[in-house]
Amino acid sequence: MNYLQMLSYLGIGGAHPGGLSLTKAIFELENLPPFTTILDAGCGTGQTTNFLHQLGYEVTGLDHDLRMIETARKRNIDQKNEITYLHESLSNTSIASNVFDLILCESVLSFTILKDSLYEIKRIMKEDGKMIAIEIIKNETLTNDEETELLDFYGFSSILTIEEWVTKFKENNLYIYNTLKAADIMINDLHEPSTEFNLSSDIPESTFSILDEHEHLSNKYRDKLSYCVFFLQKTHDQ
Ligand SMILES: C[S@@+](CC[C@H](N)C(=O)[O-])C[C@H]1O[C@@H](n2cnc3c(N)ncnc32)[C@H](O)[C@@H]1O
């Protein structure tokens, strides 16, 4: 059992820093026109996918974890399956090129091989399309032991500084037009719970010790890790 499996057994929605409140704040800021085509890449249990559908966007959810996608599909059972869900990897999708106005990655890229996922994102994004990514960042250098502890527990492929993210995006011809750091973000709706559960019927005992360890590591690395929202486009001059 690893961290992502724990999320999927507990059916955790809003499994990104800031939760749905941050998602709402981002979409208020972006103010996209109706019918914008959006890929919620690494959609998990589909909380954001559903929210964006309700705002009137043409949304597709994609996740490589079957349990996550099944939970997401169940959430939309009453909505006549108007949301398309794909059980695929972001690193190798069947999606045609140049189809999405926006690719959204809420706490997903750090789990992927960036060379593959960023290549795919750039391919499936329209020429004048955008990408928004909420990603974990390290604020300072981690020791080898600390880095190993985090990579092993969370299953991240890497933990980058803001500067390292900027370089990775540039290498893939994705350019930042805005960033929001955790400290910049004022979320007004404090009453909204950031965590939502859709428990599976077959939760293994070990799920709860993984949850405890997550709490422990969140406290331990409180000052060393943070997050950033990156707003990107394909070209410099938009
Ligand atoms: C931390 S969860 C975030 C889920 C969701 N975006 C949210 O905010 O609630 C990371 C998600 O990314 C998915 N994921 C990780 N690597 C992926 C890949 N290569 N392709 C598709 N999904 C991936 C996991 O299955 C998981 O659902």
> For ligand 1, is residue 91 a contact (CB within 6 Å)?
yes
pLDDT at 50: 94
Residue-range domains of the chain with CATH: 3-234 (3.40.50.150)
pLDDT at 149: 97
For 70-106, what is each residue's pLDDT tens digit? 999 988 776 666 899 999 999 999 999 999 999 999 9
pTM > 0.85: yes or no: yes
Q: What is the pLDDT averaged over residues 143-149?
A: 97
Mutation test of ligand 1: which of 69, 86, 111 has the most ligand atoms closer than 8 Å to its C-beta? 111
State whether the Cα torsion 157-162-167-173 is positive or negative.
Answer: positive
Task: Choose the weakest-confidence range: 2-11, 116-125, 193-202.
Answer: 193-202
3-state DSSP of the chain? CCHHHHHHHHCCECCCCCHHHHHHHHHHHHCCCCCCEEEEECCCCCHHHHHHHHCCCEEEEEECCHHHHHHHHHHCHHHCCCCEEEECECCECCCCCCCEEEEEEECCHHHCCHHHHHHHHHHHEEEEEEEEEEEEEECCCCCHHHHHHHHHHHCCCCCCCHHHHHHHHHHCCCEEEEEEEHHHCCCCCCCCCCCECCCCCCCCCHHHHHHHHHHHHHHHCCCCEEEEEEEEECCCCC
pLDDT at 166: 96
Mean of pLDDT over the chain: 91
Evaluate whether 189 touches 22 at the Cβ level (below 8 Å): no
Query: 64: CA distance to ligand 1 center in Å?
Result: 7
Mutation test of ligand 1: which of 108, 112, 132, 159 has the most ligand atoms closer than 8 Å to its C-beta? 108
> For ligand 1, is residue 136 a contact (CB within 6 Å)?
no
> For ligand 1, is residue 70 a contact (CB within 6 Å)?
no
Q: What is the pLDDT averaged over residues 50-69?
A: 95
Query: 62: CA distance to ligand 1 center in Å?
Result: 8
pLDDT at 190: 45
Query: 237: CA distance to ligand 1 center in Å?
Result: 31
Q: What is the pLDDT averaged over residues 196-221?
A: 89
For 162-200, what is each residue's pLDDT tens digit? 999 999 999 999 999 999 988 787 655 444 555 788 888
- Percent of the chain exceeding pLDDT 90 equals 73
pLDDT over 80 at 65, yes or no: yes
* Max avg pLDDT among 3-12, 54-63, 177-186, 204-213: 54-63
> For ligand 1, is residue 16 a contact (CB within 6 Å)?
yes
pLDDT at 117: 98
Q: What is the pLDDT averaged over residues 22-28?
A: 94
d(CA 192, CA 14): 11
pLDDT over 70 at 34, yes or no: yes
Q: Which atom of ligand 1 is nearest to the CA of 45?
A: 9
pLDDT at 60: 97
Evaluate whether 34 touches 219 at the Cβ level (below 8 Å): no
pLDDT over 80 at 21, yes or no: yes
